[in-house]
Amino acid sequence: MDNNKDTSLNREIGPVGFAAIALNGVIGAGIFALPAVAAAKSGNFSPWLFLICAILIMTVVLSFARAASFFRNTGGPIQYAALAFGPFAGFQTGWLVYIGRLAAVGANISLMVTYAGWFWTPLTSGMGHQLAVMAAFILLAIFNIIGVRQSMNVVFLFSALKLIPLFLLILLGLAHIQPDILIHAKLPVSGTLGETILILLYAFVGFESAVVPAGEARNPRKDIPRAITFTVLTITGVYFLIQLISVSALPGLAESKTPLADVAEVLMGPTGAALLTFGAIFSIGGNCSASMLSAPRMTYALSKMGSLPAWFGAIHPRARTPLNSIVFYAGLGLVLALSGSFVWLAVVSTLARLLSYILGVAALPVLEKRIENTEGQFRLRGGYLVPAIALLLCLWLITFASISAWLTTAAFFAMGSALYLLSSRKHKQSTVED
Report whether 365 contacts 380 (CB < 8 A).
Answer: no
- The answer to whether residue 430 is domain-embedded is no
Within a domain: 108: yes
The rounded distance, in Å, linking the Cα atoms of 316 and 145 is 7
Per the domain annotation, does 296 fall within a domain?
A: yes
d(CA 196, CA 302): 34
Residue 273 domain flag: yes
Q: Along the 434 residues of the chain, how does pLDDT read in single tens digits?
A: 445 455 555 566 777 777 777 777 777 777 877 888 889 888 899 999 999 999 999 999 999 989 888 887 777 788 888 889 988 888 888 888 888 788 788 878 887 887 788 788 888 888 999 999 999 999 988 887 876 566 566 666 766 677 788 888 999 999 999 888 888 888 776 667 888 888 888 888 888 877 776 666 667 777 788 888 888 999 999 999 999 999 999 988 988 877 888 899 899 898 888 888 888 887 788 778 778 877 888 788 778 877 887 888 888 877 778 889 999 999 988 988 887 644 455 656 788 889 989 999 999 999 988 888 877 778 888 889 999 999 999 999 999 888 888 887 888 888 888 878 888 777 666 654 55
Q: Categorise residue 373: left if φ over 0, alpha if ψ from -120 to 50, beta otherwise.
A: beta
Q: How far apart are CA 344 and CA 346, in angstroms?
A: 5
Tally of CB atoms within 10 A around 4: 17
Q: How far apart are the first and last CA of the chain?
A: 28
**CA 103 remoteness from chain centre:** 12
Residue 110: inside a domain: yes
Report CA 226 to chain centroid distance, whole Å: 17
Helices (H), ranges, 201-269: 220-249, 259-268
Q: What is the pLDDT of residue 213?
A: 66
The whole domain housing 135 covers 15-424
Q: What single string gives the DSSP state of each residue in 358-422?
A: HHHHHHHHHHHHHS---TT----TTTTHHHHHHHHHHHHHHTTS-HHHHHHHHHHHHHHHHHHHH
Looking at residue 343, what is its pLDDT? 46
**Count of the separate structural domains present in the chain:** 1
Instruction: Specify whether the CB–CB gap between 226 and 209 falls below 8 A.
Output: no
What distance in Å separates the CA atoms of residue 299 and residue 291, rounded to the nearest whole number? 13
Q: What is the pLDDT of residue 429?
A: 62
Q: Give me the pLDDT at residue 8, please.
A: 56
Q: What is the pTM of this model?
A: 0.78
- CATH code of the domain covering residue 173: 1.20.1740.10
* 111: in domain: yes
> Do residues 306 and 91 touch, judged by C-beta distance below 8 A?
no
- What is the pLDDT, as a whole number, of residue 318? 79
Task: State the pLDDT at residue 146.
Answer: 79
User: Is residue 4 situated within a structural domain?
Assistant: no
Check residue 330 and give its pLDDT. 93
Give which of 265, 254, 261 is closest to 280, Cα–Cα: 261
The reply to whether 276 falls in a domain is yes
